[in-house]
Amino acid sequence: MTATLCEYKPGLENIPAAKSSISHVDGQQGILEYRGINVQELAFKGSFLETAYLLIWDKLPTKEELEGFESDITYHRRIKYRIRDMMKCFPESGHPMDALQTSAAALGLFYSRRALDDPKYIRKAVVRLLAKIPTMVAAFHQMRRGNDPIQPNDELDYAANFLYMLTERKPHPLAARIFDVCLTLHAEHTINASTFSAMVTASTLTDPYAVVASAVGTLAGPLHGGANEEVLSMLEEIGSIDNVRSYAEHCITNKKKIMGFGHRVYKVKDPRATILQSLAVQLFDETGHDRYYELAIELEKVIEEKLGHKGIYPNVDFYSGLVYSKLGIPSDLFTPIFAIARVAGWLAHWKEQLAVNRIFRPTQVYTGVHNASYIPIEER
């Protein structure tokens, strides 16, 4: 059957690509649920690994299940020395997302067994990916500065250990708790670009490392996960509160996107942005004021005034950068952190895809010519 132009939707907007029970977004009311539970409740009452378990296995773990999952992940945090050696050869000027994509794909070389119908294999792959991705992000960060990677600390939980591997200092409990909440908020978000990428790759029945590597590559772009890094550069460029209005007006007149605003689904303020904003305030109260916060508030006010009628409000990336920079994290690690969290959602979709798999093979509306003649090279 030939597709017609009227069936074609650029960006597949509003076209269902799967049936899924993993998460739900109500873009009009600003609600995000993971397996039916409001993300706010999970963020404040649960932990990231508990959330990952819920997303992937569709149930809240019992105390024993959670402890077993956490301890398996702690056990698998280290990366093979040959992966570290490979990462040492990466250029220090390379972007950490490129380093992460390469290292995630390399896991497939080291763990090449593929048994997609074996629940034990699925669990092992989930544990390995959740355990090793943060270690690889932190290792690249250390090595690009000429340091040896810092080994994971088994006494620390998932979030605290990552912050420790970045700095070699045990983080303040509030910093670790806030970071864990950030991971929960980024863990899953229905079928966005990177998740779709993961699903398409999964549908070929390739290995889970290739699934995650393809999703990392997709997340890196500035219209997706890469926006959080760009928000901070934008605030730096604006520089002072007096420049906010003229910056916003200049962008709007020149049809330049303002980073951290707008969303394909949310037409109100992203609920994750609201929570992240409150976390930023909590951190500033504890550790001191941040000069970009007032700027961000003013920008939100001006954008609401100018673009609120189009449903353009802050998205998840707007306040996350403020939180991460207050935690002392360099801005080019913001998107890799998004990836650390989103591995949970990608793996949940991988598992869901495998259960009902049919390879993705969309069609196209052909706009080229037919019966064209081949012109010999000397006659062109």
The footprint of ligand CMC (CB under 6 A) covers 11, 192, 223-225, 227, 255, 257-264, 307, 310, 312, 315-317
Q: Write down the least CB distance from residue 259 to ligand CMC, Å.
A: 5
Phi-psi group of 267: left, alpha or beta (phi > 0 → left; psi -120 to 50 → alpha; rest → beta) = alpha
Which of these is catalytic: 141, 186, 263, 349?
263
Q: Closer to ligand CMC at the Cβ: 106 or 296? A: 296
Q: Closer to ligand CMC at the Cβ: 300 or 317? A: 317
Q: Closer to ligand CMC at the Cβ: 316 or 347? A: 316
List C-alpha distances in Å: 88 to 95, 100, 107, 150, 153: 14, 13, 16, 14, 21
Instruction: With both helix axes pointing from N to C terminus, report the angle between 316-326 and 334-355 in degrees, rounded to the nearest 10.
Output: 130
Alpha carbon 350 to chain centroid distance? 15
Q: Closer to ligand CMC at the Cβ: 177 or 263? A: 263
Annotated catalytic residue 349:
no
Q: Write down the least CB distance from residue 113 to ligand CMC, Å.
A: 32
Alpha carbon 59 to chain centroid distance? 22
Distance CA 274, CA 40 (A): 10
Cβ pair 52, 180 in contact under 8 A: no
Q: Write down the least CB distance from residue 48 to ligand CMC, Å.
A: 18
Spell out the alpha helix ranges (H) of the chain.
39-45, 48-57, 63-75, 81-88, 96-110, 119-144, 158-167, 173-186, 193-202, 208-219, 227-238, 244-253, 271-287, 291-307, 316-326, 334-355
Annotated catalytic residue 285:
no
Could you count the other beta carbons within 10 Å of the beta carbon of residue 30?
A: 17
Which of these is catalytic: 141, 270, 317, 349?
317
Q: Write down the least CB distance from residue 332 to ligand CMC, Å.
A: 16
Q: Closer to ligand CMC at the Cβ: 149 or 217? A: 217
Q: Write down the least CB distance from residue 60 to ligand CMC, Å.
A: 26
Q: Write down the least CB distance from residue 248 to ligand CMC, Å.
A: 9
Distance CA 142, CA 336 (A): 14
Residue nearest to ligand CMC according to CB distances in the complex:
262
Sequence-separated (6 or more) residues with CB below 8 Å from residue 106: 83, 86, 209
Structure tokens at 30: 């600003």
Residues serving a catalytic function are 263, 317
